[in-house]
Amino acid sequence: MTSPEQAHDSATTAPGAANAPRVTVVGAGVAGLTCAHAFALRGARVTIVERNQGTGQGCSWFAGGMLAPWCERESAEPLVAELGFESLEYWRREVPDVPREGSLVLAPPRDLPDLRRFARRTEAFEWLDGPALAALEPDLAGRFDQGLFFPTEAHLEPRKALAALTGKLVAEHGVEIRFGCSVVDDESDPATDGADIVVDCRGLSARDRLADLRGVKGEMLVLFTREIALKRPVRMLHPRIPVYVVPRGDGHFMIGATSIENDQRGRVTGRSMLELLSAVYQLHPAFGEAEIVEIGADVRPAFPDNLPRIRKRGRTIFVNGFYRHGFLAAPALARRAAEVALDGAYFPEVMDEDRREW
Ligand SMILES: Cc1cc2nc3c(=O)[nH]c(=O)nc-3n(C[C@H](O)[C@H](O)[C@H](O)COP(=O)(O)OP(=O)(O)OC[C@H]3O[C@@H](n4cnc5c(N)ncnc54)[C@H](O)[C@@H]3O)c2cc1C
């Protein structure tokens, strides 16, 4: 396996060279944009085809933007954390405003066993008592006796990060983006004509080609209040609905997220909002007085084991199955996808056994 630095150095075609491979990326979510970047960095001539009128307006639009590999270790496979470390460095290098303020994990006093269980399942954290918590987040002073602090984690604002990446692709790499263009079939669609490589990043829409892809609905809301300030994402453990709060600056907070096994894109239930709001009210009553700025939902694309995959079929490379980890894992998958397509590399951790030509 090659490191990101080696990959960057090896077999890179001069940008715009006559022999540069022509790559069409279908879908401009976090997967498509990071793949476009990975191929462009290798000198490919990249076109992105997107059915919407802007980038990042699918599932990626609703993400919290937590870059929290250690916290995710609590419930996800170790692979997710490994991909997360690489991706965290990518975002910090490539887009502005990726605060590395760490993450806090809290639980109401009656749920302290859950906090201990969370601690047992991960690492790279510090136990904090009440005064230490108050020093980090003064507005939470006196509300919690114990918490876990993961100092090396970071967060970003997904919509701003994808806009910055889009600007970079166009301005620095000459990537062409064709909006309002829906690709029906990667192999025969006129939009992919002339491409040497097609990278299919259609998220859940790729179910027509990836039969084991399923949808996991996530609902979120954005609140506005000047009554509380937070520097870093805070996760509140709760037996039924764990909730997180991601500060977005200027009094805005993203509250997420439900995780429901269905694919009803865009439908938000009163029950989910009640649960998210009551959990965040437990974190701080100021959220009870906050203005609701936005309510949203989308469907996360996931394979049965909730791990992302690269699959190759003919000239098409599928990069999909990001589940709850699109921002956490996409840059690491994108780098591998470029190596699979351009160097014939094989990455067993994200490619199914016996399915090199899937
Ligand atoms: C509420 C919520 C909170 C989340 N929080 C986080 C988080 O904190 N951290 C994290 O890492 N992840 C988070 N996620 C998960 C993350 O959002 C997803 O894993 C990620 O967005 C998937 O990205 P994608 O590019 O595969 O899909 P998408 O973002 O859906 O992109 C697919 C793109 O393909 C386009 N497309 C589809 N069909 C076609 C076609 N036929 N032709 C052309 N274009 C097409 C779509 O319009 C879309 O732009 C969250 C998800 C939700 C719902």
Domain ranges of the chain: 4-61+157-211+305-357, 103-151+214-302
Measured between alpha carbons, how far is 209 from 200 in angstroms, rounded to an integer? Answer: 10
pLDDT score recorded for residue 13: 65
pLDDT score recorded for residue 135: 97
pLDDT score recorded for residue 10: 45
Measured between alpha carbons, how far is 321 from 300 in angstroms, rounded to an integer? Answer: 8
Atom nearest to 204 CA in ligand 1: 30
Q: What is the CATH number of domain 103-151+214-302?
A: 3.30.9.10
Work out whether strand 146-150 and strand 214-224 pair parallel, antiparallel, or are unpaired.
unpaired
Atom nearest to 64 CA in ligand 1: 8
pLDDT score recorded for residue 141: 96
- CB distance 66 to ligand 1 below 6 Å: yes
Q: 4-61+157-211+305-357: which CATH architecture?
A: 3-Layer(bba) Sandwich (3.50)
pLDDT score recorded for residue 17: 72
Low-confidence residues in the chain, pLDDT < 70: 1-16, 353-358
> In a mutational test of the pocket of ligand 1, which residue from 24, 30, 182, 298 has the highest number of ligand atoms less than 8 Å from its CB?
30
> In a mutational test of the pocket of ligand 1, which residue from 51, 60, 103, 310 has the highest number of ligand atoms less than 8 Å from its CB?
60
Atom nearest to 66 CA in ligand 1: 8
- CB distance 65 to ligand 1 below 6 Å: yes
